[in-house]
Amino acid sequence: MERGVDRIVLEDVTWEVATRRPAHTPHIARLMGYDERTRGPSERREIPGARVALIVELGPPLGIYEHGQTTPSHFAGGFVAGLDDAPSLTTHDGWQRGVQIDLTPPAVRRLFGVSMEELARRVTPLNDLLRPEDRSLPERLASLGTWGARLDTVERWLEGRIVRGAPVDRRVAWALDAIEASGGNLAIATIQETLQLSRPHLARLFREHVGVTPKLYARLVRFERLTKRVTHDARPDWATLATELGYFDQSHLVRDVRAFAEATPTELVAQLNGGPASV
């Protein structure tokens, strides 16, 4: 087994996972190479968070059910899942393999040069966003012999493209940092007052650079903190978590879980503890 790669065997699934969190590139929250093999067809509900997921597929394309779809979409080579306020369902026939890159919204805008509003609440084929010279990326990664080499290649590619991209509006950058620092509990009125922006103007800036409103982004940040806290915790104290994470009370926490995960808190815990891709 390659160094830095974990092999995890559960009852019906085997995972090979290589994870990296680049310390010197804050826009990249996580790189993860994965190879999942199951005994038969598999499906997974993907819950939303405050990061945009870029998937480079190195195996058969996943099936993705977007909002209201009754048949799945398939995107050979990969896709980008923009910020959303609802889960999506992914399926495969027993094998999936690829690289997942979790990015901040401004990094995605710099990487692809598009308004984040165009990517929000939808899944976009990666090939539609890549520059012509980058469209061989899936094939290049598949041809490499180790996960380390693949993640090195992805990291260099991201850093080069993000550095050359148009910078995020400094007011949005400040607001994002402030929301993150507060755990999603900073009042939007405080952001408006600090930046001396009207609510509509602030919302327009966020749609362009983030894809969603400041209020929804703050809720996603708080919900992402919640999912991290309950991962690997089979019996969380929901009332205590609600207080610690800044929810008004436990019922408001439950409301967000139902809205973002379309599940009960107990169902969310079971889902998050179902495998490496949920971490």
Q: Residue ranges of the alpha helices (H) in 165-198? A: 170-181, 188-195
Q: What is the pTM of this model?
A: 0.92
Residue range 238-258: mean pLDDT, rounded? 96
Q: Is the pLDDT of residue 79 over 60?
A: yes
Model confidence pLDDT, tens digit, residues 40-51 = 999 999 999 999
What is the predicted pLDDT for the residue at 277?
44
| Across 43-52, 66-75, 253-262, least confident range | 66-75
pLDDT band at 154 (very low <50, low <70, confident <90, very high): very high
Asked if 119 and 113 touch (Cβ cutoff 8 Å), the reply is: no
Residue 276 has a pLDDT of 53
What digits encode the pLDDT tens for the residues 132-145? 999 999 999 999 99
166 pLDDT exceeds 90?
no
Domains of the chain as residue ranges with CATH: 6-164 (2.60.120.10), 170-278 (1.10.10.60)
Q: What is the mean pLDDT of the chain?
A: 93
Residues 167 and 141: their CA atoms lie apart, in Å, by 28
**pLDDT score for 102:** 96
Mean predicted confidence (pLDDT) in 255-278:
84
pLDDT at site 199? 95
* Nearest-angstrom CA–CA distance, 140 and 138: 5
Reference 88, options 128, 53, 139, 112; nearest CA is 53
**pLDDT band with cut points at 50, 70 and 90 for residue 67:** confident
Q: Give me the pLDDT at residue 66, please.
A: 83
pLDDT value of position 275:
52
